[in-house]
Amino acid sequence: MQYTFLKKQDMKKRLLLALTLTFALSWNAQAQIVESNEEEIEITDQNGETEYIELPEAMTSAVDSLLHLYNTQTYLVPDTNCNYPDFNPSYDQETYVQRLRQLPTIMEMSWNEIVQKFIDRYASRMRRSVSMMLGVQNFYMPIFEQALETYGLPLELKYLPVIESGLNPNAVSRVGATGLWQFMLATGKQYGLEVNSLVDERKDPVKSSYAAAHYLSDLYRIFGDWNLVIAAYNCGPEKISKAIHRAEGQKDYWQIYPYLPQETRGYVPAFIAANYIMNYYCEHNICPMLTNLPVKTDTIVVNRDVHFDQIAHVLDIDPQQLRELNPQYRHDIVNGTTKPSAIRLPQSLVGPFIDQEDSIYAYQSDQLLTKRTVVEVNDDVPTVAQTRKSYSRSKSSSSRGKKGKASKRGRKGKRGSGKSVTVKGGDTLSEIARRNGTTVSKLKKMNKIKGNTIKKGQKIKVK
């Protein structure tokens, strides 16, 4: 019997992962009580009237969505040196106003009672979500910032995915908005994101970030006001234009507020609150999770279809890590045959991929890539159907006094019937010939086979 002994380093990694998962799951158990179910915020105005503002979807599911990410499970750990007491201190209005004023932003970060409600939500009921997002942001913020910088946009827009997706690249909303930036299908395609049965580039952190920056840039050219821009990003420019018209031409978000869809009324306040909490989390005793950033990555372009399991087996990489690095591929298949397609890998595996490319393509290709390019149609006469046909003819002929002739036809039909088998994995011509009492040469002749190559699923005549 062969025994495998784990190295101390591997044991430490596994222990750390187990502790991380235990910590995260315990958070989830607590968060279920305080962070789920409620999907609205209650606001009471100066006249004592109550209004209910719908929360952005990510604010009701952030913890659940982040827990299952590979990055979260692999690279995030609790900060055991953070000794903040687990409660949310209260401050007076002027403190919040002053803090928002001090944020280094171009966009307006104004305070009002609605904004305060969203800040309170993040700082109290969602504090565990905030802790995880503060850790997860290290994976994505450099990508967001580069895309925004390319289009000359305010960098504070990098917090838009906090309220859009809770920083989950695989997030899908109730209405089908997908990815970190929550693109709808039509808008994603309009901004160059490919979506088909195999690929959904709305989940690609890099491509979707540049598409989002492009879209935000176009919206600013329409409205010229950043509050209106991010409101339009949520509900579409048409609804913002209608709200402006109903407000008699007012182009101030807070003036057109009553004419906006319910969720959009909370969208700008949630965005301001996200900017606040992602900068002032310490003041609310929130400990960010620590991030051990993954190794550097690089891309390689393929011109053939390849399955993640083929890459994972040959290069000894976790398939889940491949999925996390390449979330745009919907069924673990990189469709290089359709067009040259990029695969993101840890930088250390790019060279081995090139060196072992043939082995990668060859590994279980008939099992993992089952879409056939050429198929043969079974032209055998089914035995049961032919027997019924012969019986019918025999009976008919008997009634006309031509029993002998009908019997001859029936015997002729029976002799002409054939038998076919379907090739199974591992079958060879010699094995098929042996099982069916024939020879390889006869099989080749009957099936017009050149050489000895047969494929799984192929029909072979044996009689």
**Closest by alpha carbon to 203, among 184, 176, 180?**
180
pLDDT value, residue 276: 98
234 within 8 A of 187, measured Cβ to Cβ: no
Q: Could you tell me which residues come within 8 angstroms of residue 190 by beta carbon, excluding any fewer than 6 positions away?
A: none
- Name the residue among 302, 303, 318, 306 with its Cα closest to residue 365: 306
Q: Of the residues 232, 263, 291, which one is the last residue of a structural domain?
A: 291
| Active-site residue flag, 164 | yes
Residue 158 lies in a domain: yes
CATH classification at residue 49: 1.10.530.10
Judge if 204 and 165 occupy the same domain. yes
Asked if the structure places residue 377 within a domain, the reply is no
Q: Which of 35, 164, 201, 324 is catalytic?
A: 164
Residue 351 lies in a domain: yes
pLDDT bucket at 417, cuts 50 / 70 / 90: low
Question: What's the mean per-residue pLDDT of the chain?
Answer: 84
Do 312 and 421 reside in the same domain of the chain? no
**Which pLDDT value is given to residue 254?**
95
| Average pLDDT score over residue span 30-43 | 54
Higher per-residue pLDDT: 387 or 214? 214
Same domain, 319 and 447: no
Whether residue 383 is contained in a domain is answered as no
> For 284-340, what is each residue's pLDDT tens digit?
999 999 988 777 899 999 999 999 999 999 999 999 999 999 999 999 999 999 999
Residue 37 binned pLDDT confidence (cut-offs 50, 70, 90): very low
Report the range of poorest mean pLDDT among 37-51, 316-330, 384-398, 427-441: 384-398
Q: Is 194 exposed, middle or buried (0-12, 13-18, 19+ CB in 10 A)?
A: middle
Q: For residue 384, what pLDDT band results from cuts at 50, 70 and 90?
A: low
Residue 378 confidence (pLDDT): 83
- Please report the pLDDT score of residue 258 as a whole number: 93
Q: With bands split at pLDDT 50, 70 and 90, how would you rate the model's confidence at 2?
A: very low
Three-state secondary structure call for residue 50 = strand
Paired tokens of 132: 């995880």
State the pLDDT at residue 67.
Answer: 76
Whether residues 22 and 138 fall in one domain:
yes
Q: Which helix (H) or strand (E) holds 237?
A: helix 237-246
Q: Is the pLDDT of residue 385 over 70?
A: no
What pLDDT band is residue 388 in, cutting at 50, 70 and 90?
low
**Three-class SS of residue 428?**
coil
Task: Return the closest-CA partner of residue 36 out of 56, 63, 54.
Answer: 63
Minimum mean pLDDT range among 14-18, 196-200, 294-298: 14-18
Same-domain check for residues 45 and 176: yes
Give the whole-angstrom CA distance, residue 330 versus residue 200: 7
Tokens of 162: 């906090």
| Residue 122 sits in the same domain as residue 218 | yes
Q: H/E/C letters for each residue in 243-300?
A: HHHHCCCCCCHHHHHHHCCHHHHCHHHHHHHHHHHHHCCHHHCCCCCEECCCCCEEEE
* Res. 399: pLDDT tops 70: no
H-run or E-run covering 301: strand 297-302
pTM beyond 0.85: no
DSSP letter, residue 201: G
DSSP H or E stretch at residue 460: strand 459-461
Do residues 133 and 97 share a domain?
yes
- Which of 229, 262, 291 is where one domain is finished? 291
Residue range 112-132: average pLDDT?
Answer: 94
**Domain presence at residue 407:** no
Identify any residues that bridge with 77 across adjacent strands, giving them in sequence order. 290
| For residues 412-437, average pLDDT | 75
Inside any domain, residue 95: yes
Least confident of 206-220, 256-270, 390-404: 390-404
Cβ atoms of 88 and 80 within 8 Å: the answer is no
Q: What pLDDT shows up at residue 410?
A: 46
311 and 452 share one domain: no
For residues 251 and 173, state if they share a domain. Answer: yes
> For the segment 133-148, what is each residue's pLDDT rounded down to a tens digit?
999 998 899 999 999 9
Q: What confidence score (pLDDT) does residue 462 get?
A: 87
Q: What is the mean pLDDT of residues 210-235?
A: 97
For residues 134 and 269, state if they share a domain.
Answer: yes
Residue 412 falls inside a structural domain: no
Q: What angle do CA 115, 176, 264 make, to 5 degrees?
A: 20
By the 10 Å C-beta count (0-12 exposed, 13-18 middle, 19+ buried), 276 is classed as buried
The total of structural domains in the chain comes to 3
- pLDDT exceeds cutoff 70 at 19: no
pLDDT in tens, 155-172: 999 999 999 999 999 999
Q: Are residues 134 and 197 in the same domain?
A: yes
Please state, in angstroms and rounded to a whole number, the distance separating the CA atoms of residues 61 and 129.
9
Q: Which pLDDT score is estimated for 62? A: 66
Instruction: Check whether residue 302 and residue 253 sit in a common domain.
Output: no
pLDDT recorded at residue 32: 34
Q: Is residue 216 part of a domain?
A: yes
Last residue of a domain, one of 254, 276, 291: 291
> What DSSP string runs through 130-172?
HHHHHHHHHHHHHHHHHHHHHTT--GGGGGHHHHHTTT-TT-B
pLDDT value of residue 327: 93
Residues spanned by the domain of 432: 417-463
Q: Is the pLDDT reported for residue 348 higher than 50?
A: yes
Task: Name the residue with higher pLDDT: 258 or 413.
Answer: 258
pLDDT of residue 209: 98
What residues form DSSP beta bridges with 343? 300
